[in-house]
Amino acid sequence: MKSSYIIDYINENEFRKKERAIKKYNMLAYKKLLFDYYPSLREGNFPGVIVSANEKDEIDKYELTLPTDKTFVKVHGNITLHYSVYRKQKTVMLETLTPEDILTEGHQKELTTYKGVMVSKSHKDLDMFKINLLNSMNKNGFFKVELTPIVLLAILLSFSVTLAFIVSKIIIK
């Protein structure tokens, strides 16, 4: 039987704020964190990827990516739990949750959602642009365009006008 580990925090206030933001805006990640990963950490099973290991002090640093929506990942990045394991003291030190900017902002202000993804108040237009771009790319494949004769004629016409403009600028000089 594995001995149990104690879970502690580097900065419990800040960590709890980010954790509440995840609870509010991404329930799937919060449920996995609370019901799967925390009990696993207490039991001595350490999910995630080892980022660094200090054999002398017996300290391992881990990063654990939490499950979330693909659109959220493409707009804001993965939700990642950063933690350290102190094997001598049998302690798991929870450091932070990332992406910190959107999670901190989600705790401070009521964020809006756009097409199911939370949108930052500080760069709302950029987030909405990313979401719209991703949705348009996914609608009919990657910008699936039918080349009808009218579209081909329009492309040919715009190319010839651009070429004529460039040539006229060269001749004038």
What one-letter code names the amino acid at 33? L
Whether 50 is in a domain gets the answer: yes
CATH of residue 42? 3.30.2310.20
pLDDT band at 106 (very low <50, low <70, confident <90, very high): low
Average pLDDT over residues 65-79: 85
Other beta carbons within 10 angstroms of residue 51's beta carbon come to 12
Instruction: Look at residue 172 and tell me if it is in a domain.
Output: no
Domain assignment of residue 167, yes or no: no
First-to-last C-alpha distance (Å) of the chain: 85
> Using CA of residue 30, residue 31, residue 32, residue 35, what is the dihedral sign?
positive
Task: Output the pLDDT for position 1.
Answer: 41
> For residue 46, is it within any domain?
yes
Does residue 173 lie in a domain region? no
Does a structural domain hold residue 66?
yes
| Residue 168 lies inside a defined structural domain of this protein | no
Query: How many domains would you assign to the chain?
Result: 1
Statement: residue 45 has pLDDT above 50:
yes
Question: What residues make up the domain containing 82?
Answer: 6-118
Provide the H-helix boundaries in the chain.
Answer: 12-25, 27-32, 38-43, 70-76, 100-108, 124-139, 149-172
Q: What is the pLDDT of residues 50-62, one digit of tens each?
A: 999 998 889 999 9
Q: Is residue 82 part of a domain?
A: yes
pLDDT tens-place string over residues 20-44: 888 888 888 899 999 999 999 999 8
